């Protein structure tokens, strides 16, 4: 439930800015690690130490990757130098810093060591690869009516939810994450509509006179429903938390409790605030090492100095030393400019 997830965030929020990474990276201790891992959601965790130079260099890239995928895939950090976390780090066999681990099913399965380049783009690609595709893709060229009827006949004990998109030929990642999170409770579908809005017309939700409505729509059917037009249409912003709350409200029979709470989701701090903090930090910490140079991010959200991904989405790692001590205090890292490119449809 969104309400329970916001409660979890309230537990860990006080530590968000305590470490070397900016929002939305959340710094965990042994207790909050157990809390956030009590799910089956994919997550990334960096095990770090405050004196580690490579951990500091990772900061801007890791934060930028977290921003690009927030709130779809959470990025966390654990300070292994803190006594309260040493047992946790030992349990996960942390031998050097930074060690980045992927948790495809959070605490419900085994973790994987991330061996790719410590740059935003490879981190994003790898994290996206943790999410399996649980969405049925409908084909318009099979006939709209036939495709819809076949979709509704599948998994009759579950509600059916369909995303209708006017232009995207592939399933948006946001929709894949929703499909993964709710795969045992809702049957997910995706269909690309034509410029004539044939799909929306067949569903009975298209009004050619209404120019205020977006052609991207989400509709849901009750379990066992076979009528194409017997839909409940989503009427809010096409963002992850709002869509998730809408579906959870539908499942629970609620009138909108989760959707109201989703609108109050934690705000991600802007780059301007990070820059102000960086300047203040430099003024008070003379002699601290300079942060890594900020890479340029293009309109597609990728970093211009990040290496290309391999076929599996994980490039070969560059050899780097670990456990390198750094003299002086830890300077806050300036967050790389990154737009959450997956949060909204």
Residues pairing with 52 in the sheet: 325
Instruction: Flag whether 158 is in a domain.
Output: yes
Instruction: Flag whether 290 is in a domain.
Output: no
Instruction: Flag whether 306 is in a domain.
Output: no
Q: How confident is the model at residue 7 (pLDDT cuts 50, 70, 90)?
A: very low
Q: Do 30 and 56 belong together in one domain?
A: yes
Instruction: Flag whether 315 is in a domain.
Output: no
CA 252-257-259 angle, 5° bins: 100
Q: Answer whether residue 1 shows pLDDT above 90.
A: no
Q: Do 127 and 145 belong together in one domain?
A: no
Q: Do 186 and 238 belong together in one domain?
A: yes
H or E segment to which residue 264 belongs: none
Q: Do 276 and 231 belong together in one domain?
A: no
Q: How confident is the model at residue 91 (pLDDT cuts 50, 70, 90)?
A: very high
Q: Which of 268, 269, 265 is CA-nearest to residue 5?
A: 265
- Which residue would you say has higher pLDDT here, 175 or 303? 175
Q: Do 148 and 222 belong together in one domain?
A: yes
**Which residue reads 């099979």 in tokens?**
142
Q: How confident is the model at residue 234 (pLDDT cuts 50, 70, 90)?
A: very high
CATH number of the CATH domain containing 149: 3.40.30.10
Q: Do 248 and 157 belong together in one domain?
A: yes
SS3 280: helix
Number of domains the chain contains: 2
Residue-range definition of the domain harbouring residue 7: 2-131+270-284
SS3 273: helix
124-161 pLDDT per residue, tens? 999 999 999 999 999 988 899 999 999 999 999 999 99
Instruction: Flag whether 313 is in a domain.
Output: no
């Amino acid at each position: 439930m969104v309400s329970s997830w916001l409660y979890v965030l309230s537990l860990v929020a006080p530590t968000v800015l305590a470490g070397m990474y900016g929002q939305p990276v959340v710094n965990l201790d042994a207790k909050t690690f157990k809390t956030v891992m009590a799910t089956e959601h994919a997550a990334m965790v960096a095990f770090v130490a405050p004196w580690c130079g490579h951990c500091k260099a990772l900061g801007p890239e890791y934060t930028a990757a977290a921003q690009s995928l927030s709130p779809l895939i959470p990025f966390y950090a654990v300070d292994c130098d803190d006594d309260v976390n040493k047992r946790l780090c030992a349990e996960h066999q942390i031998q050097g810093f930074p060690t980045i681990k992927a948790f495809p099913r959070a605490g419900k399965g085994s973790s994987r060591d991330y061996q790719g380049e410590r740059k935003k783009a490879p981190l994003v690609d790898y994290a996206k690869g943790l999410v399996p595709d649980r969405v049925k893709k409908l084909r318009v060229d099979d006939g709209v009516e036939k495709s819809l009827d076949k979709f509704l006949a599948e998994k009759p004990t579950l509600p059916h939810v369909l995303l209708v998109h006017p232009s995207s030929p592939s399933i948006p990642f946001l929709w894949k994450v929703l499909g993964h999170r709710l795969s045992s409770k809702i049957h997910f579908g995706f269909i690309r509509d034509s410029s004539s809005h044939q799909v929306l017309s067949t569903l009975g939700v298209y009004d050619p006179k209404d120019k205020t409505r977006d052609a991207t729509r989400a509709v849901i059917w009750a379990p066992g429903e076979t009528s194409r037009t017997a839909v409940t249409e989503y009427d809010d912003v096409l963002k992850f938390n709002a869509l998730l709350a809408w579906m959870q409200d539908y499942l629970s029979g609620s009138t909108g409790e989760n959707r109201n709470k989703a609108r109050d989701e934690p705000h991600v701090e802007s780059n301007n605030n990070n820059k102000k903090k960086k300047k203040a930090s430099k003024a008070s910490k003379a002699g601290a090492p300079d942060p890594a140079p900020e890479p340029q991010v293009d309109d597609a959200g990728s970093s211009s100095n990040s290496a290309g991904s391999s076929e599996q989405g994980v490039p070969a790692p560059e050899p780097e030393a670990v456990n390198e001590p750094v003299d002086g205090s830890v300077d806050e890292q300036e967050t790389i400019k990154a737009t959450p490119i997956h949060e909204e449809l």
